[in-house]
A and B are shown apart, each in its own frame.
Chain A
Amino acid sequence: MVMSDILLETHGLTKAYNKRNVVDGVDIHVRKGSIYGLIGRNGAGKTTLMKMISGMISTTDGTFEYRGIAGGNKAAYSKIGTLIEIPAIMPKLTARENLKLKCLAYGQDDEKFISDTLQLVGLAKTGKVKAGKFSLGMKQRLGIALAMAGNPEILILDEPINGLDPQGIVEMRDMLMKLNRERGMTIIISSHILAELAKLATDYAIIDNGRIVEESTREELELKCRSKMVFKVGDARTAGAVLKEAGFEGFEVADEETINVFDGYEKAPEMNMKICNSGILVKSFLMETIDLEDYFLNTIRAGSGAVSVKEAV
């Protein structure tokens, strides 16, 4: 991660309730223009972390910086738009009136901006329908429109696709992609639907028990999650040397008995034969594929040693 690209970073953010750290010394680094996916179980501390960054709750310890500006003041908070937990709307006002309220508060009383934003979130034709009568999907979209008012540079969205039907999820994804690509909006997003998050996020942080377990970019994660052929052998180092000598490439010796092959799976039988011919026992070889969900679960379970993967072949 290039540090000059960093838009928002936290330093040891901590929140304690009843002497228990719900968020415990969290450091995250959000790049400008990224979609930063926060992954974690219920109660892992995702929402609390988002609330601290947006100033909704106080911090017990730690700080955050917004593009070099220390957090906790108007300059930093004015750059942040939030949709945390349920969308907060005035049920007896229309979508336009709801948006106008926030625009007035942010000194952005611009009818064109309101129309454009409603158009962007697909609520331009709701007319005089009161927001209280909207479906959950419409309320979520209005919540995002509200978060966008005031021209924030960063959107903090907590479970924005919760409760949406498949069509709504696709619409929400398209809208967030559009915001990110066309308006360069940086987005911090949390979701339980990891497959959906995998389609959106460019950076990830896995949070568990209030701590960041891992922070990586999509590229780094793809590298970790890519499919591989796994050989379990009696002596991995010697087997590795044999394969190298035979001219095979795209593999790594992971530990004393594991060789991971990332490229040229079709040559696996030949590799197997080479290893066997050199007198090294091949205990098994199998194909491993791992998606974000598996990776997340493995990372969380790593402490207990229980690792699972989907297997093929």
Chain B
Amino acid sequence: MLFNFLKMELYRLSKMKSTYIMAVIMALVVLIYSYFILGFNLEYMMTLLMGGSVPADVTYVDPTQTEMDVFGGTDGSGSAVSGVGLFHFNTVAQTYQMNIGGLIGLLLIAIVAGLFYGNDYSTHVNKNYPIINGCRWVGYTAKTLTLMIYVMAFHVMIWILSLLSNAVWASNCDPGINAGSIIYFFLTYMVTVTIVVMIGFVTTLFKSKAAGVTFGVLVSVGTLSLPVRILDYIISAKYNLEGFSLNHFIPSRILADLTVSSERRIVIIGAVCAIIYFISSFFGSIILTKKRDLSA
């Protein structure tokens, strides 16, 4: 039955316009952002604006060429070349990490998740499925699995676009695949899924699509960063804990601060937190859906 409901939820997700709109927006964001970090001569532009002289090694791919500007130009043989962005020498994994760390992807996924989980409460279609009234966990689990597949597809798309961006604008196309980048990929996936399930919990708790979307947006836009900093300051002033930061325990901040070269302690804390938040939110939602009567 779970498999049938999974097929149904995947079909429903495939019929939601926001599924595609968010993916297209993300693709554009990744391409634009990657261009700016890889191939846009930001330093050249800033130096020009300030009226200074531009060192050739940060301005041009080919120092012998003079027909180049912030967007690149042509090299000695007449082939098009890109400019040298601040992160022109990134590996694909680093470009991917910068795109994930921007949290735009999380914001877009959060909107889809809120809309997807909240659909039951806006249309009441769940009352059409009496078959799961004896085992309501099936419905919620199918939704969560569907979103896990969507999040994975989203992350894979970001990685592929990062690869393409590197191929076009960076100095190299090195995937940068190593233990650190693989762990980074799966940990960021895990944390994103955790946030998605937390959105599901909020949606279920308040029986509202709006509540889920609002929570997702608030988490994604960094609403927590200021209070976390203040709390961090207070804690470090009071207890003098070296290396402690609340950021390491908050899923959205983990996503923003984690890098492919983060130290092992931070990675483990992130993974443990993700698992704990996932389990609490998931089973919290299951208990709520099981105990509650369906409203019509």
Q: Which residues of A contact B (CB under 8 A)?
A: 51, 54-58, 72-74, 76-78, 80-82, 84-86, 88-93, 97, 100-102, 104-107, 109, 146-147, 150
Contact = CB atoms under 8 A, between A and B. Distances in A.
Nearest to A76: B134
Nearest to B4: A107
B230 interface: no
A85 B4 contact: no
Given A57-B293, A104-B8, A81 B130 contact: yes
Chain A facing B: main interface SS: loop
B8 A56 contact: no
Contact of B296 (A56, A89, A150): A56
Given A80-B130, A90-B119, A105-B4, 20 more contacts: A56-B296, A57-B293, A58-B293, A74-B1, A76-B134, A77-B130, A77-B131, A77-B132, A82-B128, A88-B127, A91-B123, A92-B15, A92-B17, A97-B15, A100-B11, A101-B11, A101-B125, A102-B8, A106-B4, A147-B128
Contact of A89 (B12, B123, B133): B123
Nearest to A48: B293
21 contacts: A54-B130, A55-B130, A56-B127, A56-B130, A56-B133, A56-B294, A74-B1, A77-B130, A77-B133, A82-B127, A82-B128, A86-B124, A90-B119, A90-B125, A93-B15, A101-B8, A102-B8, A104-B4, A105-B4, A107-B1, A147-B128
A129 to B, nearest CB: 15
A75 to B, nearest CB: 8
Interface of B: 1, 4-5, 7-8, 11-12, 15, 17, 119, 123-135, 293-294, 296
Given A58-B293, A88-B125, A100-B11, A106 B131 contact: yes
A252 to B, nearest CB: 46
Contacts of A105: 4-5, 7-8, 129, 131
Chain B facing A: main interface SS: helix
A102 B123 contact: no
Contacts of A90: 12, 15, 119, 123, 125
B293 A74 contact: no
A56 B296 CA distance: 9
B133 A55 contact: yes
Nearest to A52: B293
A150 B123 contact: no
**Which of B1, B5, B11, B129 is the most central at the interface, judged by chain A CB atoms within 10 Å of its CB?**
B129
Contacts of B5: 105
A74 B131 contact: yes
Contact of B130 (A82, A85, A107): A82
Nearest to A56: B294
Contacts of B7: 104-105, 109
**Which of B5, B17, B294 is the most central at the interface, judged by chain A CB atoms within 10 Å of its CB?**
B294
Given A90-B125, A100-B11, A84 B131 contact: no
A88 B133 contact: no
Contacts of B134: 55, 72-74, 76-77
Contacts of A146: 128
A97 B132 CA distance: 20
B126 to A, nearest CB: 8
B11 A84 contact: no
Contacts of B12: 90, 101
Contacts of A55: 130, 133-134
A64 to B, nearest CB: 12
A58 B119 CA distance: 22
A92 B119 CA distance: 12
A282 B135 CA distance: 67
Contacts of B119: 90
Given A82-B128, A101-B11, A104-B7, A56 B293 contact: yes
Contacts of A109: 7
A85 B133 contact: no
Contacts of A89: 123, 125
B127 A102 contact: no
A90 B12 CA distance: 9
B296 A86 contact: yes
A40 B125 CA distance: 26
B291 to A, nearest CB: 8
Enumerate the 9 nearest inter-chain pairs by beta-carbon distance, A residue then B residue, closest first. Answer: A55-B133, A57-B293, A104-B8, A105-B8, A56-B294, A85-B296, A73-B134, A88-B124, A77-B130
Nearest to B1: A74
A109 B6 CA distance: 13
A106 B129 CA distance: 8
